Amino acid sequence: MTVIPFESAVQDERELSMSDFVANVDYIPLQTDSNCLVGNLWDNGVVRSSKYFFLAVGDNLLQYALDGKFIRVLGGIGGGPGEYNWISDIDVNDRSQRLFVGDIGKINVYDTETGDFICSYPTNDETFQFKVKNDSTLFRFLYNSTGKVATRVLISDAHGDTLRAYPRHDLFDVEEGMVFMIGSSDDRFMYRCGDDICYRENYNDTIFTVTEQELIPRYVFDLGKYHLPSDYRFELLGDDDKFNSLASSYLSIHPIEVADFVFIPYAYWAGKGKRENMMAIYDKRKNECYKVAGGALKNDMDGLFDFRPAIALDDYTLLKVVQASQVLRYAEKNPSVLENERLKNLQEDDNPVLMVVTLKQQP
């Protein structure tokens, strides 16, 4: 277990450039036509295999080539075989060419080459985020929407049988009528790093490595004075005004782990600071943590967008989703943006652009 001294680290601010970390940056406009309107894509609704991107957009599942060319819609809305009602999460296995799609009560499995539906794994409940090991063992995070969901991580097999259940100890009573927890597109409850499957909840300062035998503490973030007290949780207060007042001086972190670093985007839980996008970085090799000035890596490579990652596609690749309208607004002040061959024909209503950043591999 590694303790990351976050409270002291955010006092050590450094000007950092993309070239300090990045080997390559690419911009991939997603093809736009009536068959593949993406809309407001959440960053963590994207996974990548060696040949494709897969996008979960609410009730739509889209497949794109790595150059952004649209390939197909997978499945469809409904309750029949291969259909889904609401996509909670997606995962992909490159070796077996299988895509896994979370729905209420099941996880659908598709062939990534043909788009054909293969089968469904029963889950008997709503799986919010998940990862699949060896194509048949499901590591599932259960969303505590009522305050009384007693299991936080459930490991089950392809038949729906439970192999291991890890209990949740911070159960609570919610205000009458409340059936949700505070959350955002930055939430990453389950992720992979190398061969490990990892888990962390928004209110927990610890990242765990999940195995079928135990939860192993991996990183503890020492937030110190920035840690939100349990009594100030939104679900417990049940009041927006109280939460905005009491939680406005505490920080919410959203760690993104790759091979050599943990990128830590963060913001205040509430108040005006909630809109202030900040970031820290923990360097695994040097065992040091520091704040990034301006909340992003300065783009000294191609003169386009500064970079604040949203998710990791693999151990050396990070992603940021940029709406077409954002690109064009940026281009009003920086016309050179539209000189980029991939962006020059972009229109206001086009699908988003994927900013894909490949990190340097450290010796």
Q: Residue 137 — pLDDT band, cuts 50, 70, 90?
A: very high
| Residue 177 pLDDT | 66
Amino acid at site 349: D
- How do residues 22-75 score in pLDDT, each as one tens digit? 999 999 999 999 889 887 787 788 999 999 999 998 778 999 999 999 999 999
- How do residues 146-188 score in pLDDT, each as one tens digit? 788 899 999 999 999 999 999 998 888 776 766 666 667 778 8
Within the chain, how many helices (H) and strands (E) appear? 4, 28
> What value does the mean pLDDT of the chain take?
92
Model confidence at 139: pLDDT above 90: yes
Model confidence at 78: pLDDT above 80: yes
**Residues 6 or more apart whose Cβ sits within 8 Å of residue 25:** 18, 299, 301, 302, 304, 307, 355, 356, 357, 358
From residue 123, give the alpha-carbon distance in Å to each of 141, 156, 159, 194, 234.
Answer: 12, 8, 8, 26, 29
| Residue 180 pLDDT | 60
Q: Residue 266 — pLDDT band, cuts 50, 70, 90?
A: very high
Please state whether the predicted TM-score (pTM) of the whole model is above 0.85: yes
User: How far apart are alpha carbons 22 and 112 in whole angstroms?
Assistant: 29
- Rounded to a whole number of angstroms, the distance between the first and last alpha carbons of the chain is 24
Per-domain boundaries in the chain: 2-359
Amino acid at site 83: E
| Residue 144 pLDDT | 83
- How do residues 326-339 score in pLDDT, each as one tens digit? 999 999 988 888 88
What's the CATH fold of domain 2-359? Neuraminidase (2.120.10)
| Residue 178 pLDDT | 66
The whole-number average pLDDT for the span 268-273 is 90
* Under 8 Å between Cβ of 44 and 185: yes
